[in-house]
Amino acid sequence: MSRRPALAGLVTLGAYGAFAATFRGPRDRFWPRMTRTGAALGLAALLLEPSLVRRRPRVREVALGGAIAGCLYGAFQVGDRVARRVLPGGGEEIADIYRLGELRPHRELALRLAVVVGPAEELFWRGLVQRSLQRRLGPVRAAVVAGLLYGGAHLVTGNRTLIAAATVAGFSWSGLAAAGVPMTSLVVSHSLWDVWIFLIQPTQRTAQGQERTRPT
């Protein structure tokens, strides 16, 4: 038990390295790398935080996850427009993220995002990292640090819009976790939001026919 925080810290460092390898490697192999990274982080979370596998999902938790995903999507519709106006090159950074969606068939990407990447990110960042921090820092400070760590993992991309979006999303999910939202709801919200904003209804300025964005 006493070794768990240290192990969580080491795995978090490993996660930063894995994110760097994922985003800095050959672009045409991005999705296989992202899926492997997600699977590894999710497995680490389940092994180091056994409480994550002790509860069965409830219908109301799934419904809550859907509602959270909808609220986040609305917030990112606004954020997309702000990024395009405020950040120099924001529109191109957004388009660059969405070009990743053209690397593989959309059905395949939906499976990767919904089954592996989305659930794994919640299990790792909120389930393992934030819970480990919470035992030492309390819920509020742990949520702040966990949100910063999640956003910081995206610094390797060099994409300011993606970094900002990931940080906002990270603080949102970390805050909900600190408020007591069940892990099932967080997993459902992350998975639905990933698929919806990246593949089904991307944020965009349709009047100008421009591309779109989403944090991974």
* H-only helix segments in the chain: 4-24, 30-48, 59-86, 90-98, 106-111, 118-121, 131-137, 139-152, 160-178, 183-195
- The rounded distance, in Å, linking the Cα atoms of 84 and 107 is 29
CA–CA gap between residue 205 and residue 80 (Å, rounded):
9
Specify if 213 maps to a domain: no
**pLDDT tens per residue, range 162-176:** 888 889 899 999 999
Q: Give the number of domains in the chain.
A: 1
**Position 214 in a domain:** no
Q: Examine residue 215 and state whether it is found in any structural domain, yes or no.
A: no
Judged against a pLDDT cut of 70, whether residue 90 lies above it is answered with no
User: pLDDT-based confidence at 203, cuts 50/70/90?
Assistant: low
**The one-letter amino acid at 51:** S
Check pLDDT > 60 for residue 198: yes
Residue 192 lies in a domain: yes
pLDDT of residue 215: 43
Structure tokens that stand for 95 in this block: 């388009």
Contact (CB, 8 A) for 119 and 37: no
pLDDT at 65: 95
pLDDT digits (tens, 9 = 90+) for 129-146: 999 999 899 999 999 999
pLDDT at 1 over 50: no
**Which structural domain range is residue 155 located in?**
4-208
Tell me what the pLDDT averaged over the chain comes to.
85
On whether residue 216 sits in a domain, the answer given is no
What average pLDDT does this structure show over 49-75?
87
Residue 78: pLDDT above 70?
Answer: yes
Please give the model's pTM, rounded to 2 decimal places.
0.85
- Residue 9 domain flag: yes
